[in-house]
């Protein structure tokens, strides 16, 4: 069954730590060993794993992305959010993380981030847990 985590962004560009919300889904489902697949069904958002302790890293990533993909440029897309679509493709819309002993197998400094590129908006993130098959 696909579960959803709701996310409310407050800024046009914003990284939101969803690690705890995803972990809650795993705990509620009682999944001990497997893979957690995290997918963002949006064209102007993304999902990434990076530094969770020092929030300046998120700001540096956002600054670097905006340097690469400025808000205004010679874009064909007339909706005014071409930069957000391009950032979504650069970052990607999915991640998969192993589940080990009921917990997301993230490194000490890693966190799962929902990446908003065209906020503020209400968004949702789809979570699918796949149970590990162990040989009997
Ligand atoms: Zn658009």
pLDDT along the chain (136 residues), means of 10: 97 97 98 97 98 93 97 96 98 98 97 98 98 81
Strands of the sheet with 110-116, listed across from one edge: 14-17, 110-116, 45-51
Q: Find the domain containing 35 and state its range.
A: 2-131
Residue 136 counted as domain residue: no
Residues 88/43, Cβ–Cβ less than 8 Å:
yes
Residue 26 counted as domain residue: yes
What CATH number corresponds to the domain at position 84? 2.60.120.460
Q: Which residue has the tokens 């699918």?
A: 128
Residue 30 counted as domain residue: yes
Ligand 1 centre from 36 Cα, in Å?
29
Strands of the sheet with 122-131, listed across from one edge: 3-8, 122-131, 34-39, 94-100, 103-104
Angstrom distances, CA of residue 108 to CA of 49, 55, 111: 12, 15, 9
Ligand 1 centre from 76 Cα, in Å?
10
Residues 81/44, Cβ–Cβ less than 8 Å:
yes
The pLDDT of residue 136 is: 61
Ligand 1 centre from 112 Cα, in Å?
25
> At 82, which helix (H) or strand (E)?
helix 82-91
Residue 12 counted as domain residue: yes
Please give the angle made by the CA atoms of 6, 81 and 43, to the nearest 5 degrees: 45
Domain count, the chain: 1
As a whole number of angstroms, the distance between CA 3 and CA 39 comes to 11
The pLDDT of residue 134 is: 78
Residue 110 counted as domain residue: yes
pTM of the model: 0.95
Ligand 1 centre from 88 Cα, in Å?
11
């Amino acid at each position: 069954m696909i579960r959803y985590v709701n996310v409310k962004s407050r800024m046009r560009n914003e990284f939101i730590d969803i690690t705890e919300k995803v972990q809650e889904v795993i705990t509620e489902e009682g999944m001990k060993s497997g893979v957690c697949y995290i997918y963002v069904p949006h064209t102007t958002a993304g999902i990434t794993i990076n530094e969770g302790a020092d929030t300046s890293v998120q700001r540096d990533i956002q600054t670097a992305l905006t340097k690469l993909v400025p808000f205004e440029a010679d874009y064909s897309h007339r909706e005014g959010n071409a930069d957000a679509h391009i950032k979504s493709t650069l970052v990607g819309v999915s991640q998969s993380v192993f589940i080990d002993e009921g917990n997301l197998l993230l490194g000490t400094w890693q966190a799962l981030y929902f990446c908003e590129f065209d906020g503020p908006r209400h968004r949702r993130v789809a979570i699918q847990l796949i149970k590990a098959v162990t040989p009997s």
